[in-house]
Chain A
Amino acid sequence: MSSMNGSKLVVNGVTKIFKMGSGFSRINITAVKDISLEIDLAKGEIFTLAGESGSGKTTLSRIILGIIEPTYGKVLYRNKNIFAMKRNERRQFIKEVQVVSQNPFEAFNPLKKVESYLFKTAIRFGLARDKKGAIPHVEKALKAVGLSLAEINDRYPNELSGGQLQRVAIARSLITQPSMIVADEPVSMIDASLRMSIINLIKQLNEESKINFIYITHDLATAYYVSHKIAIMLKGEVVELGSIDLLTEPLHPYTELLRTSIPEPDPDKALEAIDKELVISKRNFDSDFACKFADRCPSKMKICEREEPKNYIVNGRIVKCHMYSNKGIKMTNSIQI
């Protein structure tokens, strides 16, 4: 498409405020606040959005997919604002940016045969005129995920295991030959013994076909295993962003807390007892302090209560913390990494 050029997906200062309730009990919830990030589609990267439940990672992914319109800011896909696209551009965007959802048992209609999703996707996006013409596309997509049409033909979702269904879901997203797949917790509902096979599949598709992934997860161990870059989210904000290796030596105190709280599958490395102050967070979404982590932060300073920290560039990462106001470079333009 001539109007879509460039090779980047740019999220620029995106904020989403949900308005809840009515009349006097109206409240605003800032689910995502001033987030900027950039993915170079030509590189073929796996980008992880990590955070605890309620940190806004799913809202952000829905904004990137164009399902939710942000209150402020915009998302540019190949230099086009995805919320101001023409009909055919939008179609091209959906074709190139696909989604794999969390629970494969909910993603498929239990009354429909699973292969119908594959054929419909192929026909709807004009890859084939009819079912017969779509067979090669379907076969190719299934082969890429280690299945074949013979295995899933005429089967209903309840006849397949969670792992197989998630493979079919990934195969469906591959039919349009996307440049990017947004995968929201793709393995959290999968059995432990099959989990790594899905993660390895994502890794393989990324390495062999250069497909970009946005991998949304709360599981930092699989994130470290599979991805190149990571953004750590806390209460709707990105507090640290950079190469995945930031997990081994975190800069932001929140990343440090997460890192030390993950139980390791090694009996010699038991978790240390945790300070109560770190656990209990204020329940309301908008913390009283300017920095969202100030209510639990072990290195809290006076300034953290009144002034929202800026983004600083430290060792090639973006860190949103006052501790780095002297050590890091203050960012002027929000997008640099």
Chain B
Amino acid sequence: MPIVSAKNLRAYYIVDVYGFKRTVKAVDDISMEINENEILGLAGESGCGKSTLMKVLLGLVIAPLKVLNGQVIYSFNGFEKNIFELSEKELENLKWEVFSYIPQGSMNILNPTRKIGDTFFDFMEPHMEKFDKKYVREIIIQHLGNLDLPAEILESFPHQLSGGMKQRVTIALATILKPRIIFADEPTTALDVVVQRDVIQLLKNIQKNSKNTIVLVTHDMAIHANLATRIAVMYAGKIIEIAQTKDIFKNPLHPYTKYLISSLPKIGDKTYKKSIPGAPPSLANPPEGCRFHPRCPEAKKECSESVPELIELETGHKVACFRIN
């Protein structure tokens, strides 16, 4: 039973300035399911719509982003509702307790004039029935201990912490209310490799210990290989392939995924890495048919005419390509 299922999601950025209308089709007809107890990786290059998809899944739809079609159904413990039909109050209740969000560049969201401890209190207060500072402090310290963070950081200001430490603090904030799903947008980007390795480990441990779900957005395939259990590959606003991590890396089916995997450089491997020809399309004006066909070496006539659907080939391995059927 999936905890979140998206059906025929269509979310566009619609900008209308002085009669000049521009539509960016960032999420175009996406259906997917997020299961309990998994780390789902959303892969794709910058501008392919992966961050937008994550925001829509969270119900974080702020103009100019607009959901034109589709639903996102959250189901757990008998609760089953479309996130777009929830009242503001209901949505507030879901936030942080059912799902939490680690936005991109989140290490810079901490209020520079407040101590980390105060940020934790501010964060916890609306979620507690009776706010007892001493009791809440104990919860926080215990939680930090679980994540191997020293309790002293509660007395620090953000500028006194390193980038990696701040990132760990935001992860601690996002997980303190034990959410069922954690949405993490590029949680390791802009960190040095050694710190990145530690943050990867931290996310892995959180998932292992609380058996919840992590949805991970990153463009870095190596991070996906290390963390994700299942990967959805996005290209120009669509999911083109979704499968277990092993299948994506060892047996990619879509030509784009094939290129993506084979072009990854590795230490100890000096063989020539071919790059993908052409450039990704603009989402304001995507090509007709399969959006990859102008760059695809195996494109046929029908690829430029109609859009291939995401079809399940083997159990759990779905791909949207006319060549493979």
A266 to B266, alpha carbons, bound, how many Å? 10
Q: How far is the CA of A270 from the CA of B245 in the complex (A)?
A: 12
Cβ contact within 8 Å between A265 and B221: yes
Cβ of B287 within 8 Å of any chain A Cβ, yes or no, is no
Binds A, one of B99-107, B121-129, B176-184, B190-198: B190-198
User: When each residue 245-258 of chain B gets 1 if its CB lies under 8 Å from chain A and 0 otherwise, what string results?
Assistant: 11001100000100
Is A261 within 8 A of B279, CB to CB? no
**B279 and A164 contacting across the interface, CB-CB below 8 Å:** yes
A42 near B: Cβ within 8 Å?
no
Complex-state Cα separation, A281 to B274, whole angstroms:
38
Of the candidates B196, B201, B259, B279, which one forms a contact with A273 in the assembled complex, judged by CB atoms under 8 Å apart? B201
* Segment of B17-25, B222-230, B316-324 in the binding face: B222-230
Chain A's nearest CB lies how many Å from the CB of B303? 18
Minimal beta-carbon separation of B206 from chain A (angstroms): 14
Complex Cα spacing A194 to B200, Å? 26
Instruction: Give the CA-CA distance A229 to B250 in the complex, in Å.
Output: 31
For residue B148, CB closer than 8 A to chain A, the reply is yes
Bound CA–CA A283/B194 (angstroms): 15
State whether A267 touches B246 (Cβ < 8 A): yes
Q: How far is the CA of A270 from the CA of B269 in the complex (A)?
A: 18
Quick check: A53 and B192 within 8 Å, CB to CB?
yes
* Interfacial chain B residues near A264, Cβ < 8 Å: 222, 225-226, 266-267
Question: Could you say which residues of chain A place their CB within 8 Å of the CB of B259?
Answer: 193
Residue B219 lies at the interface, judged by CB distance under 8 Å to chain A: yes
Most buried by B among A195, A247, A268: A195
Which residues of B have CB within 8 Å of A218? Answer: 192-193
A204–chain B nearest beta-carbon distance, Å = 11
Which among A85-93, A137-145, A219-227, A309-317 touches the partner chain?
A219-227
CB distance from B251 to the nearest CB of A (A): 12
What is the CA–CA distance of A274 and B198 in the complex, to the nearest angstrom? 6
- Which of chain A's residues have a CB closer than 8 A to the CB of B46? 191-192
- Knowing A258-B193, A263-B223, the reply to whether A247 touches B245 (Cβ < 8 A) is no
B113 within 8 A of A: no
Q: Could you tell me if B274 and A248 are in contact, using CB atoms closer than 8 angstroms? A: no
A27 interfacial contact with B, CB 8 Å: no
Contacts A224-B268, A263-B222 given; does A196 touch B245 at CB 8 Å: no
Q: Which of B164, B197, B276 has the most CB of A within 10 A?
A: B197
Q: Which of A196, A257, A258 contacts B265 (CB 8 A)?
A: A196
A193 & B201 in contact (Cβ 8 Å cutoff): no
Chain A: minimal CB distance from B39 (Å): 12
Tell me whether A221 and B225 are in contact in the complex, defined as CB-CB below 8 angstroms, given that A193-B275, A267-B249 are known contacts.
Answer: no
Interface centre among A225, A248, A267 (most CB of B within 10 A): A267
Decide yes or no whether A276 CB sits under 8 A from chain B.
yes
Closest to A219 in B: B265
How many angstroms from the CA of A164 to the CA of B264 in the assembled complex? 20
Which residues of the other chain, A, contact B300 by a CB distance below 8 angstroms?
A: none
Question: Using Cβ atoms and an 8 Å threshold, which residues of chain B touch A307?
Answer: none
B162 within 8 A of A: yes
* Interfacial residues of chain B within 147-163, with CB under 8 A of chain A in the complex: 148, 162
Does A68 sit at the interface, judged by CB under 8 A? no
Determine whether the beta carbon of A279 is less than 8 Å from that of B164.
yes
Given the interface pairs A192-B219, A265-B222, A279-B164, the reply to whether A271 lies near B280 with Cβ below 8 Å is no
Distance A248 CA – B200 CA, assembled complex (angstroms):
23
Indicate which residue in A161, A248, A279 contacts B268 across the interface (CB closer than 8 Å): A248
Given contacts A263-B226, A265-B221, contact A221 B194 (CB under 8 A): no
- Which of chain B's residues have a CB closer than 8 A to the CB of A221? 222, 264-267
**How distant is the Cα of A266 from the Cα of B268 in the complex, in angstroms?**
13
Decide yes or no whether A262 CB sits under 8 A from chain B. yes
Contacts of A261 on B, CB cut-off 8 Å? 193-194, 196-197
Give the docked Cα–Cα distance between A196 and B221 (Å): 14
Check if A163 sits within 8 Å of B192, measured CB to CB. no
Residue of B nearest to A254 (CB): B194
Contact A52 B192 (CB under 8 A): yes
- A270 partner residues in chain B, CB cutoff 8 A: 225-226
- Please, which residues of chain A bring their CB within 8 A of the CB of B219? 192
Interface residues of B in 180-223 (CB under 8 A from A): 192-198, 200-201, 219-223
CA distance A224 to B201 in the complex (A): 25
Bound CA span A196–B260, Å? 10
Q: Is A84 an interface residue (CB 8 A)?
A: no
Residues from chain A with a CB closer than 8 A to the CB of B265 are 196, 199, 221-222, 224-225
Enumerate A236-293 residues with CB–CB distance to B below 8 Å.
Answer: 247-248, 257-259, 261-271, 273-274, 276, 278-281, 283
Contact assessment for A194 and B275 in the assembled complex, using a CB-CB cutoff below 8 Å: yes
**Does B270 reach chain A (CB closer than 8 Å)?**
yes
B118 beta carbon closer than 8 Å to chain A: no
Whether, in the assembled complex, A200 has its beta carbon less than 8 Å from a beta carbon of chain B, the answer is yes
| Interface membership of B45, Cβ < 8 A | yes
In the complex, B273 has a CB within 8 A of chain A: yes
B273 to chain A, nearest CB (A): 5
Please, which residue of chain B has its CB at the minimum distance from the CB of A278? Answer: B194
B286 interface residue (CB < 8 Å to A): no
Q: Could you say which of A161, A200, A279 contacts B279, with CB atoms under 8 Å apart? A: A161
B299 within 8 A of A: no
Cβ-closest chain B residue relative to A220: B267
Q: Does B14 sit at the interface, judged by CB under 8 A?
A: no
Per the 8 Å Cβ criterion, residues 181-201 of A in contact with B are: 191-197, 199-200
Chain B residues with CB under 8 Å of chain A are 45-47, 148, 162, 164-165, 192-198, 200-201, 219-226, 245-246, 249-250, 256, 259-261, 263-270, 272-276, 279-280
Name 7 extra pairs, CB < 8 A, besides A220-B193, A224-B266.
Answer: A52-B192, A191-B46, A192-B221, A224-B265, A258-B193, A263-B197, A274-B194
11 A-B pairs (CB sep. < 8 Å): A192-B45, A194-B275, A197-B276, A258-B194, A262-B222, A263-B200, A265-B225, A273-B201, A278-B194, A279-B164, A279-B198
Closest A-B pairs by Cβ, 10 of them: A197-B275, A196-B275, A263-B222, A52-B192, A225-B265, A261-B197, A193-B276, A191-B45, A265-B264, A221-B265
